[in-house]
Structure 1
Amino acid sequence: MLLDGVNHIAWISKDVARLGRFYTDVFEAEVGPTRDHGPGETMTTIRIGPHTELNIVVQEGNTEADRQTPMWGRGRIDHVGLQAASRDAFDAIRERIVAAGAGDGQVNDFGGVYSTFFRDPDGLEGEVLLPKA
């Protein structure tokens, strides 16, 4: 198998402190620092497993987090980050993404990880990540 699980799930929140307390109290998660992530935007990571995080974004003026609708009417997740099982797996996945026309294969260096983005046939953005050793 080329993947080793989910690296992260990203979504928008209006109160990351409240969300962080919930995941800490209920799941013993570890809340990382909040950092700038673009104009009027911050991101906080909440580690929920050995290599799985929630990437919580707060954006000034974005009211998407206020929408509370019934199941299957809530919209889609912003994106999912998938964990590559190894460097060879990351390279193979990247080649397959390009061959499928699902992405350009660009590799991003985000400090602790390498990443490449793709869009699945439904248009959902995905990211494949490879932690640096």
Structure 2
Amino acid sequence: MTKGMIDVLLRGVDHIACLTHDPARLGEFYAAVFDAEIGPTRAHGQDGEETMTVMRIGPHTELNVFTVPSSDEADRQTPMWHRGRLDHFGLHAASYPAFATIRERLMTRGASDGTVNDFGSAFSMFFRDPDGLEGEVLVPKADDGAHPVA
């Protein structure tokens, strides 16, 4: 390892589990915006009430989307920092062109206003999926200081 590199034990996020009432609608959104691969919805759990749909959003990352009819947690959307243990999630864009493509797709769907934030080492933009869950897309800054959507 070169000097200044951080030695890490993980390679990123494997999956994020979330609840929805409509996995087909959510799957259509993630497929259209992020080119996600949407698996079948299958029974899950012991009592037969739950279902699970796996949505592959990257080479090593999935959304594990559950429906639980007896739970109203999928309806609960409150302001930032008051949403429970999972407030939002961040996705790492593969490149500046990928960031720009995702941004345009989110804006077209009305899921983001397209604002790009400068967070020092990365550019970021926020979005809301059809269930109201907030997500963020980030791309590390290029060495030349270029903006991802110049």
Normalised to the residue count of structure 2, the TM-score between the two structures is 0.50
Secondary structure of 2:12's aligned partner:
strand
Give the structure 2 partner of residue 30 of structure 1.
Answer: 37
Corresponding pairs, count: 77
TM-score by length of 1: 0.56
Deviation at 1:11, TM superposition (A): 0.9
Quote the residue 1:62 is aligned against: 71
1:75 is aligned to: 84
Helix, strand or coil at the partner of 1:23: helix
Post-superposition offset of 1:4: 1.1
Report the structure number with the largest CA radius of gyration. Answer: 2
With CA pairs under 8 Å and 6+ residues apart, which has the higher RCO, 1 or 2? 1
**Per-residue deviation, residues 44-92 of structure 1 (Å, max 9, x unmatched):** 0000000100000100221101112111111123xxxxxxxxxxxxxxx
| Residue segments in structure 2 that go unaligned for 5+ positions in a row | 1-7, 87-150
User: Structure 1 or 2: larger strand share?
Assistant: 1
Give the percent of matched residue pairs that are identical in Structure 1 and Structure 2.
Answer: 64
**Which AA in structure 2 matches 1:37?**
H
Within 5 Å, give how 1:38-117 maps onto structure 2.
38=45, 39=47, 40-77=49-86
* Counterparts of residues 2-17 of structure 1 (less than 5 Å): 2-17=9-24
Aligned equivalents of 2:22, 2:85: Cα separation in 1: 19
Structure 1's consecutive aligned runs of 4 or more residues displaced over 2 angstroms after TM superposition are none
Structure 1: unaligned runs, 5 residues or longer: 78-133
Alignment-mate amino acid for residue 43 of structure 1: M
